[in-house]
Amino acid sequence: MTRLLVTGAAGFIGSHVCEALVARGDDVIGVDNFDPFYARAVKERNLEGLRRGPRFRFLEADVARDPLPWDGVDGAIHLAARPGVRPSLEDPAGYVTANVGGTARVLDGARRAGVARVILGSSSSVYGDTTPAPFPEDAAAVEPISPYAATKRASELLAYAFAQLYRMRILCLRFFTVYGPRQRPDLAIHRFTDLIARGQPLRMHGDGSSERDYTYISDAVDGILAAVEWTARPAPGGVCTAINIGGGARVRLDRLIALIGRTLGRAPQVERYPDQPGDVRLTAADLRRAEAELGYRPRVGIEEGIRHFVRWYEATHGRQS
């Protein structure tokens, strides 16, 4: 049995990870500060099933400010962060405090407690707009183009420093647009589904040709669980590496919108707007390192994933007439 500390436990990815850990027999200490980026009630619902079980303990705390419960912890999965490229343009200092400062406190707390195993949630946004596709983790130039992306890259660099200084075993997972049941309401798939289901127009920034590598939540969770095992492997000295967690295919924005509409049985009403500052034209994960190191292979394609998401949306919000 392993005891793991999971930050961002009430969020979309975090709550799914906690459920998977508990289901396989681990003890989990979940931490979340219920940041008002979206409604607290949504996050509270994410925790309902976990709170009923004996293997899950929850602490409301801010990782950038509050002490964390490290006693008896074998490893940490650090997913807490302020999300979103576009909001980071308005509050870059706040994003640095929450994301970089929070990561520094988690890493420092872990090493002081003698916890050497850490998984850090990073993002495909670190690659910016200049890395050739598919994006390899050892790309010569990693140039973020938004404050959010820069905070994720800075967090990775902190992890490298801590690994070398304190002989820690750290894995930085670069997630590529994770979606699925309980996805944040501000993210594109959730927002588009809601608008199309209610017969409302949606904004499409650009001409629809931008592409994303979408990762279904169960695949992302599989990658995180494999990463937990990776951190348990014996290794001389400290080690830190980055690994992509992607869906294995690129999907055009206009195709995504059409697919959601077809799955809902409704015609999308699309309003066209210019590209947004900070948004990249393309994301595409090179998964060779993920397969070699973690045995990771995505299993859920975009059409199956959208069907699962739409079913969850309709079960949660009801079919719109």
Residue located via tokens 């998984």: 119
* Residue 245 CA neighbour count, 13 Å, CB half: 28
Which residue do the tokens 């979940």 mark? 30
Q: What is the dihedral of CA 264, 268, 272, 277, to 10 degrees?
A: -10
Query: Pairing state of beta strands 211-213 and 169-175?
Result: unpaired
Backbone angles phi, psi at 252, to 5 degrees: -65, 150
Catalytic residue among 38, 95, 127, 148: 148
Backbone torsions φ then ψ of 245, nearest 5 degrees: -125, 100
**Residue 200 — φ and ψ, nearest 5°?**
-100, 150
Structure tokens at 46: 């994410």
Look-up: residue for tokens 């949630």? 121
Question: Which uninterrupted H or E stretch holds 37?
Answer: none
* Catalytic annotation present for 273: no
238 Cβ contact partners less than 8 Å away, ≥ 6 residues apart: 162, 163, 164, 165, 166, 167, 168, 169, 170
Tokens at 164, concatenated: 């070398």
Positions annotated as catalytic residues are 148
